[in-house]
Amino acid sequence: MKERIEKLLEEIENLSTKGNFKEKITLVAVTKTFDVDTILEAYRCGLRIFGENKVQEAISKIDAMKDYKDIQWHLIGHLQSNKVKKCKVFSLIHSIDSIKLLEEFLKFEDSERPDLLIQINSSAEESKSGIPLENVYDFFDKVLELELNKKIKIRGLMTIGPLTEDKKEIRIAFKKTRKFYEDLQYKYNLTFDILSMGMSSDYRIAIEEGSNMIRIGSLIFGERKYV
Ligand SMILES: *Cc1c(COP(=O)(O)O)cnc(C)c1O
């Protein structure tokens, strides 16, 4: 694992320093389906940010690893509003895609509320969650109108690239997301600092198109047996 991580970090460094955006890239190690021992191995290799896609699975791992206080846990999978109140264990949630979810986060104490990313569906695949591109401005109109951004820290956007071998199509989806990332800040006078895009199969393209946070599972931990 150590070798795989070192190779990945080196590649990330190369891509980000040579590319057009020169963003500093944050690596989220996606630990869904992997057990605590495997996560500990990654921790010993120096990784400190772990991403899980299910609230319940995350909570049991977080509890088992509660002595490792310098770990940041991210939720990257779809979130149901009835699970929101369990989410104070996360430092960042990547998958916010409704006003209803945002409103649930208003109920938190300010100090316990995680930071949030808005997930957008940049590939228009019906099976994907995330806000469809044509609704993104309506969504942010509503966020500003309800002043949800006053209390809730929206740090930026997340997207999942299209499920295809076609690199051009993947690039287009990431380019569109980067454009929203910039245009939304300008139009609404917001300050974002996180653009979460890129997984094991497409992180290179994502970094070339201006991602600054990539979510990598199988490249670090090997193939998952189930999803
Ligand atoms: C599983 C998952 C990843 C990581 O996928 P890999 O292909 O294993 O790198 C990234 N983002 C999300 C939202 C995921 O669910």
Closest residue by Cα to atom 7, ligand 1, is: 200
HSE-CB at 161 with a 13 A cutoff on CA atoms is 29
Mean pLDDT of the 89-106 span: 97
Is pLDDT at 128 greater than 80 in this prediction?
no
Query: Please, what sign has the CA dihedral across residues 42, 210, 171, 80?
Result: positive
Tokens of 153: 């820290």
- DSSP conformational letter for 227: -
Across the range 110-126, mean pLDDT stands at: 93
The residues near 22 (Cβ < 8 Å, ≥ 6 apart) are: 16
pLDDT digits (tens, 9 = 90+) for 180-201: 999 999 999 999 999 999 999 9
pLDDT at 90: 98
What is the reported pLDDT for 125? 78
Interval 164-184 mean pLDDT: 97
Token pair 């791992």: residue: 61
Residue 126's pLDDT is 75
Index of the ligand 1 atom closest to the CA of residue 28:
10
**CB-based contacts of 96: which residues, under 8 Å, 6+ apart?**
79, 102, 116, 117, 118, 119, 154
Write down the CATH number for the domain with range 2-221.
3.20.20.10
Residue 225 pLDDT: 77
Q: Is the CB of 121 under 6 A from ligand 1?
A: no
**Per-residue pLDDT, 189:** 96
Ligand 1 touching residue 32 (CB < 6 A): yes
Probe target for ligand 1 pocket from 53, 203, 204, 207, with the most ligand atoms within 8 Å of CB: 53
Q: What is the DSSP string of 158-221?
A: E----SSS-HHHHHHHHHHHHHHHHHHHHHHT----EEE---TTTHHHHHHTT-SEEEESHHHH
By percentage, how much of the chain surpasses pLDDT 90?
A: 93
The ligand 1 atom nearest the CA atom of 219: 9
Q: What is the pLDDT of residue 36?
A: 97
The answer, yes or no, to whether residue 224 has pLDDT greater than 90, is no
Ligand 1 center–CA 223 separation, angstroms = 11
Which pLDDT value is given to residue 127? Answer: 74
pLDDT at 45 over 80: yes
Share of the chain above pLDDT 70, in %: 99
Domain boundaries, the chain: 2-221
Read off the pLDDT of residues 71-84 as tens digits, 9 standing for 90 and up: 999 999 999 999 99
Residue 227 has pLDDT above 60, yes or no: no
* Confidence band, pLDDT 50/70/90 cuts, at residue 102: very high
- How far is the centre of ligand 1, averaged over its atoms, from the C-alpha of 124 (Å)? 18
Whole-number pLDDT of residue 19: 87
